[in-house]
Structure 1
Amino acid sequence: MNIFIKLGICLGLPLVVLLLPVTAFPIEGLSLIEQRVIAIFLLAALCWVLEPFPIYATSVLVIVIELLLVSDKGLIFLRSGAESEGFGTLISHKAIMATMASPIIMLFLGGFFLAMAATKYRLDVNLARVLLKPFGQNPAMVMLGLMGITAIFSMFMSNTATTAMMLSILAPVLGLFKAEDRGRIAFALSIPVAANIGGIGTPIGTPPNAIALKYLVGEDAISFGSWMAFAVPFVIIMLAFAWVLLVKMFPAAQEKIELNIRGKFQRSPKAILVYVTFTATILLWLFGSAHGMNSYVVAMIPVAVFSVTKVITKEDLKKISWDVLWLVAGGFALGLAMDKSGLARNMVAAIPFDQFSPYLVIASASALCLLMANFMSHTATANLLMPIVVALAVSMDSLIPLGGTQALILCVTFAASLGMSLPISTPPNALAHATGYMQTGDMAKVGVIIGIVGLLMTYAMVFILRQIGFV
């Protein structure tokens, strides 16, 4: 598609939304600020899909437009009438700017430092040599091994940190493929897919799981072990499906990967420091409950250690993928605007779920969650939907035969983690996209298929669990 046509679509449709009267939208009580957020959302979605310019530039554009149109320090003539009815609530400019330095951005930075240090001192090469050796030389089996390792790590530590670590291990493997070999697309996608799916396996694997547990209380309470009892089989099945899907969609041209990864673990003081810091950071991520630090705080440790000891120098800092950080920040800013303006909440509340059949309610709520999770933070999506979903479940007696509150919450929670169609859908997706081995379209195809199949699998497992009295 011609670049000018893309620009026309990306800029024209949001402009039309801005010019329409508020009454033209099928959302009751829509404010002027919410209308502007709709236009920003449409602009971001179109630009991230059509890519008239780099996707990180879209994120920066989103942040700047939010500051101009909907912040409390935006253009003065666009803030006039802020006290009038129907104008809406202006968003703090500090909150919008803070998305550029959110805890997850710091987690990214820590992952980048680990990856750079590992590459500089060949830790990634040696780990690849050790971990991949049992899986032979068949490309499909090597990818299966990578996905399995990634999924297990993601059950107990940050999906983002796991992806950053595994992509650093994967780098020498990707270098073995020829430029035209589509197999390297499968390999690059396998890590974020496995991380996103693996996070479902435990209550601490991903924030939406923890949010769900907050509402699963009393008779609906689910223990850590019980969660794993049904979530781990789900992860295994979905991981196997994703593996087959990637192998079929992006077959490797070469029949085997010659993993001639040679070398020894270096023994210089700085190399040993890298090994110790790398191992300590991973252990701290894994055992957060033991020391009380969350993954964001832990991520700053390698940044400090490697900077002070000059493991990472000023020249190394120039190699950090700052575009990825901007990309993720733009997604956070979009989610913030939808949350603080009340748009996301009003969009969800505008759908009369209580008038539908219980089957349609479960399908609609989880499908809506999946759709929102592709464009917003999974955590923000869960935070927005969960209170409404719980209230809906409590008020609908017709849901009881299908598992009641548990069934609806589990379906919506799993749907949140299955949103992985775009680079901005999850931090692992953004990290993988930054490798440059795939197009947004490749990620979208795989993400949509896995999302739909994952929803169907969720419904099937909840039905089976209901039959055996688990929910």
Structure 2
Amino acid sequence: MKTYLKYILPIFIPLIILLIPASSFAIEGLTLVEQRVIAIFVMATLCWVLEPIPIYATSVAIIVLELLIISDKGLWFTKFDSPELGQLVDHKTIMATFASPIIMLFLGGFFLAMAATKYRLDVNLARVLLKPFGHSPKYVMLGLMMITAVFSMFMSNTATTAMMLSILTPVLALFAREDMGKVAFALSVPVAANIGGIGTPIGTPPNAVALKYLINENNIRFGEWMLFAVPFVIVMLLIAWLLLIKLFPASKTEIKLNIKGRFLKTPKAITVYVVFIITILLWLMGGVHGMNAYVVAMIPVAVFSMLKIITKEDLKKISWDVLWLVSGGLRLVLH
């Protein structure tokens, strides 16, 4: 019975609201449009929690339902002319969510992350940056967490975790089965990735959503966000590190990270390095050149596409489900 409910409940609520004609009595204090938005919100929440369909499909369903029942080009029986029932939304505004500046910001971040991985910039940076931390397990773990947090500021948390765990896998094999240090190292990467995501507007979707609404006198530039957030990242990272080494002390006294590789020197690889650096600098110096983070994010998209650094095959690997998921969430927030 429970299995059936997870499919029936999310469909049942919006179906009822769809059947409410435009002339129906609205709930006191709410317009008919607001009632319909609430119904869509409840449906989306149930779908995201119960997962009768993929979570990204729920986001698409949100936009389609809004087009059908609260837009000026929706179903004929959902339309009305009475101001008391609310104001129908322009269908172009709803559909524009798929091309919201936030979506473009994430797309630029995905292009940077994909190019960095494709030309091994991420692995080589990790190799170079981990050298100063020596061979003591607790300090190697600190270095690993710091690098993971930095990567996570400009890449998705999931992609950063996957990359760093692939580097860490051979190291985990060095620990004895009963050594709790293995647990600390395994946990350190996802913990650091989540903490690092706070550091920039593109580190995690909630940051970008917040940035969209910080406008006019409350406007925060990319660099200003980092100036405010990075100190929090550093403090939380140190606290997490201390907790991990305290709760899961390592028995092994020395470990060696054997990360092989070298920086590629091909024209395309050098282009990736240069564009990566320039993009980050432009994000940090928004007050100097006048471009906002959304405009800067399109630079790597254009350059990598024109020079075939990111090909059509690579495009298939972009996390489109994440972009759709953010789009649906934006539509709910906008109401």
- For the criterion TM > 0.5, the same-fold answer is yes
Deviations 1:327-354 (A, max 9, x none): 1111111112x2xxxxxxxxxxxxxxxx
Choose from 214, 217, 220 the match for 1:214: 217
Q: Which amino acid aligns with 2:96?
A: A
The aligned residue for residue 386 of structure 1 is none
The aligned residue for residue 4 of structure 1 is 4
Query: Do 1:266 and 1:272's aligned partners in 2 also have CA atoms closer than 8 Å?
Result: yes
**Cα displacement (A) at 1:15:** 4.9
**Cα displacement (A) at 1:12:** 3.4
Deviations 1:67-103 (A, max 9, x none): 1111111111111x2x214311111111111110111
Matches within 5 A, 1:129-140: 129-135=127-133, 137-138=137-138, 140=141
Change (3 A) 1:112 1:163: closer
Change (3 A) 1:78 1:215: same
Q: Which amino acid aligns with 2:113?
A: A
Matches within 5 A, 1:355-394: none
Distance in structure 2 (CA, Å) of the matches to 1:54 and 1:125: 32
Q: Which amino acid aligns with 1:330?
A: G
The aligned residue for residue 144 of structure 1 is 145
Q: Which amino acid aligns with 2:275?
A: T
User: How high is the TM-score relative to the length of structure 1?
Assistant: 0.55
Distance in structure 2 (CA, Å) of the matches to 1:31 and 1:186: 49
Count of residues in correspondence between the two structures: 304
The aligned residue for residue 93 of structure 1 is 91
Change (3 A) 1:252 1:70: farther
User: How high is the TM-score relative to the length of structure 2?
Assistant: 0.75
Q: Which amino acid aligns with 2:165?
A: L
Query: Do 1:60 and 1:330's aligned partners in 2 also have CA atoms closer than 8 Å?
Result: yes
The aligned residue for residue 75 of structure 1 is 75
The aligned residue for residue 196 of structure 1 is 198
Query: Do 2:151 and 2:160's aligned partners in 1 also have CA atoms closer than 8 Å?
Result: no
Report 1 or 2 for greater relative contact order, CA contacts < 8 Å, sequence distance ≥ 6: 2
Query: Do 1:17 and 1:38's aligned partners in 2 also have CA atoms closer than 8 Å?
Result: no
The aligned residue for residue 172 of structure 1 is 163
Secondary structure in structure 1 of the residue aligned to 2:84 = coil
Change (3 A) 1:134 1:274: same
Query: Do 1:107 and 1:300's aligned partners in 2 also have CA atoms closer than 8 Å?
Result: yes
Query: Do 2:40 and 2:62's aligned partners in 1 also have CA atoms closer than 8 Å?
Result: yes
Name structure 1 gaps, 5 residues minimum. Answer: 155-161, 200-204, 217-223, 339-471
The aligned residue for residue 329 of structure 2 is 331
Distance in structure 2 (CA, Å) of the matches to 1:214 and 1:15: 42
Q: Pick which of 295-304 and 30-39 moved more.
A: 295-304
Change (3 A) 1:23 1:98: closer
**Cα displacement (A) at 1:234:** 5.3
Change (3 A) 1:133 1:171: farther
Q: Pick which of 291-300 and 3-12 moved more.
A: 3-12
Q: Is 2:278 aligned against 1:287? A: no
Deviations 1:146-173 (A, max 9, x none): 465369xx6xxxxxxx234x76555432
Which has the larger Rg?
2
The aligned residue for residue 204 of structure 2 is none
Q: Which amino acid aligns with 2:30?
A: L
The aligned residue for residue 296 of structure 2 is 298
Change (3 A) 1:69 1:106: same
Change (3 A) 1:254 1:186: farther
Identity over the aligned pairs, expressed in percent? 54
Matches within 5 A, 1:60-459: 60-79=60-79, 81=80, 83-135=81-133, 137-138=137-138, 140-142=141-143, 144-146=145-147, 149=150, 162-164=154-156, 170-175=161-166, 176-177=168-169, 187-188=189-190, 190-196=192-198, 211=214, 214=217, 236-241=234-239, 247=244, 259-336=257-334, 338=335
The aligned residue for residue 368 of structure 1 is none
Name structure 2 gaps, 5 residues minimum. Answer: 173-181, 202-206
Query: Do 1:124 and 1:169's aligned partners in 2 also have CA atoms closer than 8 Å?
Result: no
Secondary structure in structure 2 of the residue aligned to 1:261 = coil
